[in-house]
Amino acid sequence: MESQVTSQSETLIQTPQQLFVVVFLSFFVPLASILLVVKLITGGINISPDALTEKAVSERMKPVGSIQIAGDVDALNPPIPSQETASLKPLKNGETVYQQVCAVCHIAGVAGAPKAGDKSQWEARIAKGKKVLYQNAINGIGIMPAKGGAATLSDDEIKAAVDYLLKQ
């Protein structure tokens, strides 16, 4: 019945070839456009091949914090100073001790300290004899504290400083 209703002038598909072309297009055109849309969406994501190397992956997966020991590891286990090394500690020479400890007072004559190099201030003191000066420098005298306040220095270091001071 239908074939009778459908006249040849009313339909675009008139041959089997045309039917085939229409079926073909109706299948592939949507498929192609879907592929294009997919490509458009995923095309923006650019995954660099380097991002998948083992190093890069473990770098991304490593814990946020990491412990680093600054400086020498030996600093955590300082060697126990033996008696031997302690006695080998180099003595500070007179000049060093003088510059580091005594000069503060004895250059300017702070608190009545006899000025280094001022002969008139030292004459009477030197007259007492070096031994007395050594002892007073070691034990302190008047305002001057014992060993000039540097209690860790040895007696010999103080004596050397006195010698240096007297030579000024």
Minimal distance, residue 97 CB to ligand HEC, in Å = 6
Which of 75/151 has CB closer to ligand HEC?
151
Give every CB contact of residue 92 below 8 A, 6+ residues apart in sequence.
100, 153, 157, 160
Contact criterion met (CB below 8 Å) for 8 and 14: yes
Other Cβ atoms within 10 Å of 101 Cβ, number: 19
Site for ligand HEC in 14-33 (CB under 6 A): none
Residue ranges in 96-155 that form contacts with ligand HEC under rule CB under 6 A: 97, 101-102, 104-106, 110-114, 125, 128, 132-133, 136-137, 141-144, 147-150
Q: How many residues bind ligand HEC (CB under 6 A)?
A: 29
Kindly tell me which of 95 and 104 has the beta carbon lying closer to ligand HEC.
104
